[in-house]
Structure 1
Amino acid sequence: MAKWQRVVVKVGTSTIVGSDGKVNYPVINRLAQGLTTLVNEGREVLFVTSGAIGVAIDQMNLPARPTKIPEQQALAAIGQGYLMSIYNQSFAFYKQTVGQVLLTYDVFENAGLLAHTKEAIQQLFEQRVIPIVNENDVIAVDELDHQHSFGDNDRLAALVARELQADLIILSDVDALYTANPNLDPKATPIHQVKAITDDLRLAATGSTSGLGTGGMTTKLAAADLTMSDGREMALINGDNPANILSIIKGEVIGTHFQGVQK
């Protein structure tokens, strides 16, 4: 993984919003430090983030995520600006410039839009800027219409990585892919290397524990499947310590490394 030159890093809501529903500022700061280090090493880094609704819930002092779609869309509008202000401040401390890119499913279905999007991202790379990508949840209603949205940002990250011919790192609320749900089975053990997505792995997949995000281990396996089918690699690591990003790039055995082409 030390040879990875173009890297997409995806972070879920459970990483940037704690189990208490509060924004996890220390983790975000360490994440900014880690991604900046990758850029300083000469790599091209794109950052896919969830969490707009999660941080808005904290900002608006709501007891829980609302169930009505328009209310969630409104929170996405509130949280997107707040989330970017947090990222701007965190990355600025390390003198790293970032730029926001909001996407919808339609971009990947329209050759013209996709080409323009890739050109814009390439220009950001050339200026050593980290593009921060999120789905435009204000207009893309993922809970109701999966035909016009990604449904979760794991798939969004995998699609972006595929189009950019990049490798993928997903930060999650679990340490790795396990042989069973570690929250239910004390005998579950981590799987550190995967060369093919099998039915047994899909059965062993465990979901997110935070309750704030929309993804789970199933969506991460799907992202790995898509990434590996294009001959690229993916790493799944715990987001509680973003320094793991640098450790896994150095080749340390952390999390799960998905390597190999699907047959």
Structure 2
Amino acid sequence: MGPLDRKAYFDDARRIVVKVGSNVLTEDDGLNLKVVRSISRQICRLIDRGLEVILVSSGAMAAGIRKIGLARRPDEIPKRQAVSAVGQAGLIMEYENAFERYGNKVAQILLTGDNLSNRKMYLNARNTLHTLLAWQVVPIINENDTVAIESIKFGDNDNLAAQITLMMDADLLIILSDIDGLFDKDPRHFPDARLIPAVTHFSRTIEKQASAIPGSLGSGGMLSKIKAARKVTSSGIPMVIANGNIPDVLEHIFDGQAIGTFFVPGEERMAKRKCWIGYSIKPEGSLTIDDGAVTAIVRRGKSLLPSGILEVEGDFGIGAGVQFKSTTGEILGVGLVNYSAADIRKIRGLQSSRIAEKLGEKPYDEVIHRDNLVITEHCP
């Protein structure tokens, strides 16, 4: 299929992830039940076409704010978590009622970053989702705001949706927002803003355009959606940003209509384990590497050797996830280390042949083997 033949991608899709943002799902006095029911109906129709659908839904915080009668989102973490608990109950109840109208069952899954950073929990979550899909139950996923703290948060549901897409080896991610797609400037303030129909590669210009278009109710603006797109497309999965307020938008997308912005995927799918390493684990430290190591890793697909390491940040053990970055501070990727931070400090800058001299043993030549290394953030 050609890179811009979006209909071919949709025709080949069998498992999709749909993320719906807070601005789509809420109105002044709480949940917009008309939209909840519309999204639910559309997903049920996609299921009737033979698709497996996983729904990542925001809206708990916004629904709770309106339900309790608060003027705005609280600043204090305990109050935010309490508001989310109130809102999540109403959110899942409305989804259950809406899907039941079309003979479909739903399941609520609440996750934190820790759940997917831990390999065992990650696999357990994936097995649970596979089981629900096999039972023809629609998983409805949200971040567990009731217990999540900053250190274990996903950041926003765009990131969560991207991680779920990778974890479940889905064929497509659709993000429904209150904006028509990615524009060259904020269309809410510039009447001459132009919609970008397709993105074939990422650049600093794309990120700059996205960062100028903020969100309001939700925690993620357009930049968070671009970051989600980079994750999934670099792993060989296409993504669409579209306006969730367009009637029957999901069905129109699968009918081949050029709605929203389509992000063209890379040519090859990333291995599932590498998806976990690159986009789910929480880095426990970082390594600054020299220009030669950058070229070897990014351009030639090599492992990270101790000779290319300049600085070590953090205190981590063997097997930890660690970021590696250039001398200019650009984060290039993540990998699982073969040595602790203390030992890397001892062998940094040395040839592999001298590891045993410094440590008394030499279990590995590489600090990070290429099989345990993922380039995540390199952007021309």
Are 1:207 and 2:213 matched, yes or no? yes
User: Which residue of 229, 235, 249 corresponds with 1:230?
Assistant: 235
Partners of 2:29 and 2:67 within 8 A in 1: no
Partners of 2:185 and 2:213 within 8 A in 1: no
User: Which residue of 69, 75, 98 corresponds with 2:83?
Assistant: 75
Indicate the percent of aligned positions where both proteins have the same amino acid. 35
User: Displacement, 1:80?
Assistant: 1.1
Aligned to 1:220: 225
Map 1:233-248 to 2 at 5 A. Answer: 233-241=238-246, 243-248=248-253
Could you give the per-residue CA deviations for residues 242-263 of structure 1, whole angstroms, max 9, x where no partner exists? 5111111121100001013288
Distance 1:91 1:174 in 2: 25
SS in 2 for 1:235: strand
Are 1:131 and 2:136 matched, yes or no? no
Partners of 2:47 and 2:53 within 8 A in 1: yes
Aligned to 2:177: 172
Aligned to 1:156: 160
Please report the TM-score for the alignment, with normalisation by the length of structure 2. 0.66
User: Displacement, 1:241?
Assistant: 2.5
SS in 2 for 1:2: helix
Structure 2: tracts of 5 or more residues without a match = 1-9, 268-378
Partners of 1:173 and 1:208 within 8 A in 2: no
Aligned to 1:42: 50
Q: 1:174 to 1:74 in 2, by over 3 A?
A: same
Aligned to 2:16: 7
Distance 1:239 1:22 in 2: 17
Distance 2:116 2:73 in 1: 29
Map 1:18-33 to 2 at 5 A. Answer: 18=27, 20-33=28-41
Aligned to 1:118: 126
User: Displacement, 1:39?
Assistant: 1.0
Partners of 1:174 and 1:237 within 8 A in 2: yes
Please report the TM-score for the alignment, with normalisation by the length of structure 1. 0.94
User: Displacement, 1:52?
Assistant: 0.6
Partners of 1:34 and 1:242 within 8 A in 2: no
User: Displacement, 1:21?
Assistant: 4.6
Higher Cα radius of gyration: 2
Are 1:192 and 2:181 matched, yes or no? no
Give the letter for the 1:175 counterpart: D
RMSD across aligned C-alpha pairs, in angstroms?
A: 1.4
Higher relative contact order (CA 8 A, sep 6+): 1
SS in 1 for 2:31: coil
4+ aligned runs moved over 2 Å, structure 1: 206-209
Give the letter for the 1:15 counterpart: V
Partners of 1:99 and 1:129 within 8 A in 2: yes
Partners of 2:235 and 2:265 within 8 A in 1: no
Distance 1:245 1:135 in 2: 23
